[in-house]
Every structure is written in structure tokens, then in C-alpha cells.
Amino acid sequence: MPALNLSPAKANRSMPPRHLADLTLAQRREAVVELGEPAFRANQLSHHYFARQVTDVTAMTDLPAALRDRFADALFPRLLTPVKEADCDNGATRKTLWRLHDGSLVESVLMGYPDRATVCVSSQAGCGMACPFCATGQAGLTRNMSTAEIVEQIVSAARSSEEADLGRLSHVVFMGMGEPLANYSRVVAALRRITSPAPEGLGLSARHITVSTVGLVPAIRRLTDEDLSVTLAVSLHAPDDELRDELVPINNRWKVAEVLDAAWHYAKRTRRRVSIEYAMIRDVNDQPWRADLLGRLLKGKLAHVNLIPLNPTPGSRWDASPKPVEREFVARLRDAGIPTTVRDTRGQEIDGACGQLAASQQLAEPQGGTEELAHAQRGESRKVAL
């Protein structure tokens, strides 16, 4: 197999201009002062954006009208434009396809449950990890997303959740397009924005935030030292190196033992249970002996297995494991003392379930200016850019 290119990818798209959410509160105050205004205006802007989810400066009516245009130009560039929205589950699952300022496309999915509202967000436009069973991984990486582009998905979801009567947004999962830990500095900055109390950020609980990775060992170790205590999810998908080399190509760089060692270090430091993500693929990784091997690897560790029935993607040769096979896999893990659940396959009807996000698009620009959009699909595979 050819060597993996682990150097930072050269983006073929441009990053967006500076936004309020890219800045710490102290930096926002400095930016406001540079505009010739008193620093307290930064607190006002931050309160509107994070506490009230107001993204349109013209609606911030407690600011003098003359200031709104200046602040809009300097701190509130348009980051995300909705291209298409789809929903299912009686409106409880809502997927949005966003166009970024440079034309890049990403997706996020808002899911309402009886006890919580969760948004699944993207951290990269596309993905460069090339996991063969994942829609996003087959499209390649366009570019990293900025901190504010990531945060904006969450702020938008918080507003939409209230408007759709799904309740207050409480959970965030970084399981959309891209590998979060390959866009490390911006993702960590986004985590700090959304966990910091107002007016610094959204004030969400770190315990309700999950960051997924295919196993970028150095980045996992860096995250361990950040003192963020979010939940770490490792997309393992195979307990043995021979198969994982094929399913998760980054395994050719960092083997299963190295990935799990970094995960256990994270669990010990944060006292947070690691989620082991495992897509169940028919006749590929669902054999009973692999369940037994996985159980031995996890026994006695602070871990939980989240089995994911493989969701269909157009033209894929991969298929989900039959339910009897899935049930035996679960039983063997539980017999080994490993807490195990099977993920709800929410959003299949709108290509919004695990492994289906791809933000693929076929645009036609007729004279009327309307756009036709192909179905978008969701993914979890990742790009390395350390």
C-alpha cells in the first residue's frame, strides 16, 4: 500500500474573513476598540450572538444604527448560507446543506429526542481519510473549516431547535464531515467557545460534547492535555490491524494498540468513558471472533461500544450486518462485560444517518437562477493534517 501523506493539505479553497466567533472575548474587545468603540460593545455583541443566537447585526437594536453596519462588516461576515434543508422523523431530524463563502459545501444534522436536542456538526469540507465504506471519505478533502464556521453551525442549530419546538440545544457531536482532530486548533477553539459561559460562549456542558476521531494518536494526546473533558469517540471499526488497515487507512500509521493506548490515557486523565464506534459491515468485520477480540481489548477499560448499523450509500459494495449477526455481536461483547449499545439509525430517509454525509451537489443555474441539488450524504472518515 502506498505511504500516507500526513502533511497538512493545501486547501484549494480560501478561508473566510474574521468573525466574532473566531475570537476570544479579550480579542473581541481589542477588535472593538480598534474600531474606535468602547470595549463593552464586545460584550453586547457576544451576548446577542451566543446567548440569543442573533447572527444578523441589524437585529441588534440596542446598538446605535450607525454602529451596526461597521460591526457587520468587521465582525459578522456571512459564513454559512443554507442551500437545502430536509427533515424526517416528523420533523425531529433536520439536515441542512450549507454553502460556505468560497462555495465549499458542508452538512449538519439536528436531532430532537424526548430528553435532549443534539446537533452533529462538520469540521472540514470533505475528508481526506478515504475510508472505503464512508461517503465523505470518497469525496476527498476541500479544506479545513474555520472556528467560526464550526461554531456557526451550532449557533444556528440552537436557534432552529427552539423554533422547531425540539427544546434547548444540549448536545453537540463532532461526527459530521471531516476528521475533527485533523483541524485541531480550530476545533479546540470551537470547543472553548461553546463550553465557555456567556458572554464568552454558549455555555454548553463539556460532558454533553463528543469529539470523534479515527485515531490520530498525537492529536488525541494533545487533546488529553487541553483540560476540556469532552467525550472522546474512537472510530475503530475493526479490532485487528489486518482488517483495520483496509477499513481505516490511517491505521497504517498508528496501529490499534497505539490508538487504544492513547484513548486509555485520555480516559484516565479526564475520567470520561471513551466511546468505541464500530460500524457493522456484513461479512467484513462482524464475525463472532472479532467480537471476542474486541471484548478482550476493552475488558477492564473505561469504555463503551457504540455499534453502528452501516447505512446505505449509492453504489457502495458495503452492506449492513444482518440483525441476527448484530445481536450475537452485542451479546458476546456484553458477556465479556463491555457496555454495548446499537446506534439509532436516525435520518436515513434524508441521507443524514451515520456514514452518509457527503454534501454532493449538482447545480444548474438556469435563467431564473434556481439551483437543483442532488441528495447529500453523511460521513465520519477523516483527514490528517497535524
Q: Are residues 145 and 61 in the same domain?
A: no
Q: What is the pLDDT of residue 307?
A: 97
Q: Are residues 42 and 179 in the same domain?
A: no
Residue 183 domain-assigned?
yes
Q: Are residues 192 and 327 in the same domain?
A: yes
Is 122 marked as binding a ligand?
no
pLDDT at 212 over 50: yes
**What pLDDT digit, counting tens, does each position of 283-299 carry?**
999 999 999 999 999 99
* Total domain count, the chain: 2
Per cent of the chain over pLDDT 90 is: 78
Of residues 109, 74, 179, the one with CA closest to residue 352: 109
pLDDT at 257 over 60: yes
pLDDT at 366 over 70: no
> CA 46, CA 16: separation in Å to the nearest integer?
19
- Torsion sign, CA atoms 283, 376, 233, 220: positive
Active site residues: 107, 354
Is 12 marked as binding a ligand?
no
Outline where the chain has alpha helix (H). 25-34, 40-46, 65-75, 147-163, 184-195, 217-224, 241-247, 256-270, 288-298, 323-335
How sure is the predictor about 134, in pLDDT bands with cuts at 50, 70 and 90?
A: confident
- Name the residue with higher pLDDT: 32 or 349: 32
Q: What is the pLDDT of residue 357?
A: 53
Q: Are residues 58 and 87 in the same domain?
A: no
Q: How many residues does the chain have?
A: 386
Q: Are residues 48 and 122 in the same domain?
A: no
Q: Are residues 171 and 303 in the same domain?
A: yes
How sure is the predictor about 358, in pLDDT bands with cuts at 50, 70 and 90?
A: low
Is 134 marked as binding a ligand?
yes
Cis amide bond preceding 180, omega within 30:
no
Outline where 170-287 has alpha helix (H). 184-195, 217-224, 241-247, 256-270
Is 179 marked as binding a ligand?
yes
Q: Are residues 199 and 50 in the same domain?
A: no
Torsion of CA 327, 329, 333, 334, to 10 degrees: 10
Is 120 marked as binding a ligand?
no
Contact predicate 11/143, CB 8 Å: yes
What is the residue-averaged pLDDT of the chain?
A: 87
Is 311 marked as binding a ligand?
yes
Residue 357 domain-assigned?
no
Q: Are residues 135 and 231 in the same domain?
A: yes
3-class secondary structure per residue, 226-240: CCCCCEEEEECCCCC
Domain span at 67: 18-77
Q: What is the pLDDT of residue 12?
A: 53
Q: Are residues 72 and 117 in the same domain?
A: no
Q: How far is CA 183 from CA 252, 323, 356, 367, 382, in A?
A: 20, 36, 21, 39, 10
Q: What is the pLDDT of residue 48?
A: 97
pLDDT at 312 over 80: no
Torsion of CA 47, 49, 52, 56, to 10 degrees: 130
Q: What is the pLDDT of residue 360?
A: 55
Lowest pLDDT segment from 102-111, 137-146, 183-192, 368-377 = 368-377
pLDDT at 356 over 70: no
pTM beyond 0.85: the answer is yes
CATH number, domain containing residue 217: 3.20.20.70
Q: Are residues 247 and 310 in the same domain?
A: yes
Is 110 marked as binding a ligand?
no
CATH number, domain containing residue 24: 1.10.150.530
Long-range contacts of 62-65 (CB under 8 A, 24+ apart): none
Mean pLDDT score, 176-195: 97
Q: What is the pLDDT of residue 346?
A: 57
pLDDT at 355 over 60: no
Mean pLDDT score, 6-20: 69
Most confident of 9-18, 170-179, 340-349: 170-179
**What pLDDT digit, counting tens, does each position of 321-343 carry?**
999 999 999 999 999 999 999 98
Q: Are residues 47 and 86 in the same domain?
A: no
Is 127 marked as binding a ligand?
yes
**What pLDDT digit, counting tens, does each position of 229-251 carry?**
999 999 999 999 999 999 999 99
